[in-house]
Amino acid sequence: MNAVQDALDALCGETGVRRLTVEPGRDRRGNPEPVAPISFSAGDVVCIVGATGSGKSRLLEDIEWLAQGDTPTGRRVLVNGAAPDLSGRYSGTGRLVAQLSQNMNFVMDASVGEFLDLHAGSRGLTLDAARRGAIIDAANRLTGEALAADHQLTELSGGQSRALMIADTAMLSTSPIVLIDEIENAGIDRHQAIRLLQGEDKIVLVATHDPSLALLAPRRLVLAGGAIVDVRRRTPQEELLATRLATLDRLQERLRNDIRTGLSLDAYLSDPAVPTVPTAKENA
Ligand SMILES: Nc1ncnc2c1ncn2[C@@H]1O[C@H](COP(=O)(O)OP(=O)(O)OP(=O)(O)O)[C@@H](O)[C@H]1O
Ligand SMILES: [Mg+2]
């Protein structure tokens, strides 16, 4: 951990979240949730999967709210095995949880550099040029279109905004728990984003419909009918599958970039990464 982070931690008194535990509540029909309490430790990445409406976002909201039986699910969230001090629920600094959701955008009239300085300033810190540069570099590793300190926040693309938020959350936010709802379709390298957050020793929970992203995590919670119904550990076979899916992801990314740039995609027909099974139309 770097000096800035240490100083932030000291300031906000937030070191020491070693374990987060979700105690079961009720499903949407009021039946008990059929799982034992589930714990997460610093550095854990856990995915949350389940059909639309199964309760993934609700679970993230319970964690963000540090629910104490006071949400529709009746779940309780414990920090280091005990009910947390809830005074942080309402305050911007000192928060345990940072949430990144799909539709966040900057509405501030400031440059990228000014925003980072303000964010550090709100924690009583001054960012030196090297640290500011490191955060911007991290954001640029997540997105195809580079951003710079003098870019205006309001002019950033969706992908650039999200990349900056993720880098900022990983490197400047003191929140030890990061919740991500639906990171797909955001124009950023999602695998890299998860690694960046994980590297800062945070607990990262990601709700997703994407198998490739879900297999990044060694553990995944399966939701149905508003309840956690299973906790699956990634198998060695799934890990192998994940490396193959990563090849497909890279193919998609290349296609996306080329089509955005206005290029012809003809050459992809003979690209080794493109499946070669003829379509029904070709066979006809
Ligand atoms: N245990 C529960 N008890 C009561 N209401 C619940 C419970 N779990 C979820 N809900 C409610 O059900 C609705 C659908 O849940 P939610 O939005 O969390 O689904 P989701 O899995 O995130 O769906 P999507 O994949 O479409 O984002 C929400 O209104 C949520 O508050
Ligand atoms: Mg949702």
Distance 116 CA to ligand 2 centre (A): 29
Identify the nearest ligand to the CA of 56 by its number: 1
Secondary structure (3-state) at 190: helix
Closest CA to 207 of 22, 42, 27, 59: 59
Q: Say if CB 207 and CB 56 are below 8 A apart.
A: yes
Distance 136 CA to ligand 2 centre (A): 29
CA-nearest residue, atom 16 of ligand 1: 55
Whether the CB of 52 sits within 6 Å of ligand 1: yes
- Choose which residue among 35, 48, 58 to substitute to test ligand 1 binding: the one with the highest number of ligand atoms within 8 A of its C-beta: 58
The pTM (predicted TM-score) of the whole model is 0.84
Whether the CB of 53 sits within 6 Å of ligand 1: yes
Whether the CB of 50 sits within 6 Å of ligand 1: yes
CA–CA gap between residue 222 and residue 232 (Å, rounded)? 7
Q: For 253, list phi and psi in degrees, rounded to 5.
A: -65, -45
CA–CA gap between residue 103 and residue 183 (Å, rounded)? 10
CA-nearest residue, atom 8 of ligand 1: 226
How high is the pLDDT of residue 12?
A: 43
Residues of the chain with pLDDT below 70 are 1-15, 88-94, 102-105, 183-186
Whether the CB of 176 sits within 6 Å of ligand 1: no
Please report the domains of the chain, with CATH numbers, ordered by start residue: 3-234 (3.40.50.300), 235-284 (no CATH)
Whether the CB of 74 sits within 6 Å of ligand 1: no
pLDDT tens by residue, 65-105: 899 999 999 999 999 999 988 776 655 555 788 887 766 66
Distance 102 CA to ligand 2 centre (A): 10
* 59 CA: nearest ligand 1 atom: 18
- Tokens 């540090």 belong to residue: 66
Q: Say if CB 229 and CB 56 are below 8 A apart.
A: no
CA–CA gap between residue 67 and residue 48 (Å, rounded)? 18
Distance 104 CA to ligand 2 centre (A): 15
Q: For 128, list phi and psi in degrees, rounded to 5.
A: -85, 165
Q: Say if CB 206 and CB 183 are below 8 A apart.
A: yes
pLDDT tens by residue, 244-271: 888 888 888 889 889 988 999 999 999 8
Whether the CB of 208 sits within 6 Å of ligand 1: no
